[in-house]
Structures are given as structure tokens and as C-alpha cells.
Amino acid sequence: MRVERAIPSGACYGVQRALSMVDDAFAESGRTGLRVCTLGSLIHNPIVVRELEEAGARVVDSADELDSGILVIRSHGAIAGVADGARARGIIVFDATCPHVAKAQMAASRLAAEGRFMVILGEAGHPEVEAIRSYAGERAVVIQEPEELPEFDSNERIGLVVQTTQSQDRLTRVVAALKASFDDVAVENTICSATRFRQEAALSVAEQADAMIVIGGRNSGNTTRLREICEGACERTHHIESAAEIDPSWLVDCEVVGVTAGASTPQSHIDAVIAELEGSK
């Protein structure tokens, strides 16, 4: 049995940057004695979040829970004004918002300022999407499929931004539906390159694999998208969070087992899965 890893896969720049900023926050805590908190889960990887909690980082749902301390804004970003409001109350803020997410936020703000009705392609309720929506003003809707588009006046001017981890195929279908109905559609393709490259690499491996292992948090949007893409090419696709979840029955009669990992998955997690698979040969 041969183990084939998709390249690239695993932690992206935005995640690595967020983890580095938490290290900086812990260093600041050592100097000041202030408690480190993250606004929600820093990244969508339960194992990493648990390790941060064990190291002393408290997860809070709202900046309003803090009277003082150090607040790390998660990689998915925060609702508009949260960081500035926390700083105004004397809280030390480390903003780990992924630069690609920040770009989507600014695009939503700019298009909304032009008077456009904003369509956000993404998962409703996802923290990144909720943050982007807060920059899009009151005239906005979140959808995942063309069929979810509401009824618009045909003269409406439309703006479209995308959750950074959405698939290009889904974006293409939504754009086609909008342009079929409206003359003025401004599209900001804010899918990040790291997501696109990982999806392309995962599909390439899945097309030749007998089984596919996708590593990452089950609450991770980009990992879920990888699983969906791999399932389209390889029926025996399995989404796991750790090597301990691997079932030997998945590997029966496999000549090639593919491995990919979401953008919130550290290299150590990938190494552990590959070692487990290679030990099963």
C-alpha cells in the first residue's frame, strides 16, 4: 500500500499567523500577568483549541465578558467594531484575523457603500461569515446555492463576496445565476489561494486513490469542503480529526491511500496520520 499526500495540505499562512500571535499574547501575559483569552475558537481545530486551553488561554464568546486582559481575535475575524471597542476599554488586543478574511470584510464594506444589495456566499452562522456580514450593512443575505437567492427587483445593483473557504465551482454557479437576472453585478472573488490550491491538490490525489483520508476539525468549513470534493472522486473518503480514528477496515484491498488536511491542521497531526497508515502496510 502506498500513502500519497496531497501537496499542499495542512495549516495555511493565516492559521500559522494566528498561532504565532497567540505565542506573542502568552509572552505579553508573562510580562504583565494578564490572562490570555481568545474570541471564540482561535481556529477550527478542536485538538489545537484544547491544547491552547491547557496552556492557559480562555475562550470567550464576547469581548464584553472581559474587564481587562489580553484578547486574541480569532483567525475568522470578528464583528465590525469589536476590536476597537475592546481597545477603548483598555484591553490589549492581538488581531489574528486572516488577511484574506480581512480582504473579504473590506470588499463587503466597499460594495455596500456603493449602494449594492450584498450577497455573501458562505455558511450562515459561521463566524467568518457573520463577521463579513457585519461589514455588509443591513441589505445583505447569506446563501450557499443559487436556489437560495431571494426575489430581487430586476434593477437592483448586486455585490457578491465569498467566504474564503468556499469552492470555485459553487461560486461559478452563483455568479451565473446572478448575471442571468441582473445587469449590474460586482463580484469580489475572495476565495483565498491557499483554499483553491488545497482543493485542487486533494482532487488530484483522490482521483487516483482507493481510499482518501481528510484530516481536520469537523467544525472546519474548509476541511468539510475538502471532504466533499474528495467524495466526488473517491467513494471511500473518511474525515478524521486524529490518527486514533483510523479504522483498519478502511484500508482493506487499497493500493493507494490518499491523505489531505484542512488549513487548520498542524503538520504534527498529518505526520501522525501518515505514520499510522504506513504502520498498517
CATH number for the domain that contains residue 89: 3.40.50.11270
Average pLDDT, the chain: 96
> Catalytic site residue 128?
yes
Of the three residues 71, 98, 125, the one that is the final residue of a domain is 98
- Shared domain for 82 and 142, answered yes or no, is no
**Tens of pLDDT along 201-259?**
999 999 999 999 999 999 998 999 999 999 999 999 999 999 999 999 999 999 999 99
Residue 157 has what pLDDT?
97
- Shared domain for 19 and 88, answered yes or no, is yes
- Shared domain for 47 and 107, answered yes or no, is no
Q: How many CB atoms lie within 10 A of CB 148?
A: 14
How many Cα atoms are found within 13 Å in the side-chain-facing hemisphere of 175?
13
Of the three residues 187, 220, 246, the one that is the final residue of a domain is 187
- Shared domain for 63 and 120, answered yes or no, is no
Domains in the chain, number = 3
Q: Could you tell me the three cell numbers for 266?
A: 498542524
Mean pLDDT, range 40-69, rounded to an integer: 96
Q: Could you tell me the three cell numbers for 131?
A: 463577521
Question: With DSSP H G I counted as helix, E B as strand and the rest as coil, what are the percentages for the chain, rounded to 5?
Answer: 45, 20, 35
- Shared domain for 29 and 94, answered yes or no, is yes
Structural domain harbouring 182: 100-187
Residue 153 has what pLDDT?
86
Rounded Cα gap, residues 223 and 263, in angstroms? 7
**Tens of pLDDT along 91-145?**
999 999 999 999 999 999 999 999 999 999 999 999 999 999 999 999 999 999 9
207 and 214 Cβ atoms separated by less than 8 Å: no
- Shared domain for 77 and 105, answered yes or no, is no
**Confidence at 167, pLDDT banded by 50, 70, 90:** confident
Catalytic residue among 128, 130, 241, 276: 128
pTM as predicted = 0.89
- Shared domain for 218 and 199, answered yes or no, is yes
**Tens of pLDDT along 149-162?**
998 888 999 999 99
**Tens of pLDDT along 259-273?**
999 999 999 999 999
- Shared domain for 76 and 111, answered yes or no, is no
Of the three residues 120, 152, 187, the one that is the final residue of a domain is 187
- Shared domain for 136 and 107, answered yes or no, is yes
16-51 residues labelled b (16+ CB within 10 A) or e (exposed): bebbebbeebbeebeeeebebbbbbbbbbbbbbbee
Place of cell 505526520: 271
Residue 154 has what pLDDT?
83
Q: Which of 12, 76, 11 is nearest to 38 (CA)?
A: 76
Rounded Cα gap, residues 142 and 149, in angstroms? 9
Q: Could you tell me the three cell numbers for 134?
A: 457585519
Residue 80 has what pLDDT?
97
234 and 211 Cβ atoms separated by less than 8 Å: yes
| Adjacent-strand bridge partners of 212 | 237, 258
- Shared domain for 74 and 51, answered yes or no, is yes
Residue 281 has what pLDDT?
61
153 and 131 Cβ atoms separated by less than 8 Å: no
Q: Which of 273, 276, 278, 281 is nearest to 214 (CA)?
A: 273
The total number of residues shown for the chain amounts to 281
Residue 228 has what pLDDT?
95
- Shared domain for 92 and 134, answered yes or no, is no
3-state secondary structure of 56: coil
Mean pLDDT, range 19-45, rounded to an integer: 97
Whole-number Cα distances in Å, 246 to 94, 125, 226, 228, 240: 37, 30, 18, 19, 7
- Shared domain for 180 and 225, answered yes or no, is no
CATH number of the domain within which 119 lies? 3.40.1010.20
Please name the residues in contact with 211: beta carbons below 8 A apart, sequence gap of 6 or more.
234, 236, 237, 238, 250, 251, 254, 257, 258
3-state secondary structure of 220: coil
Residue 59 has pLDDT above 70, yes or no: yes
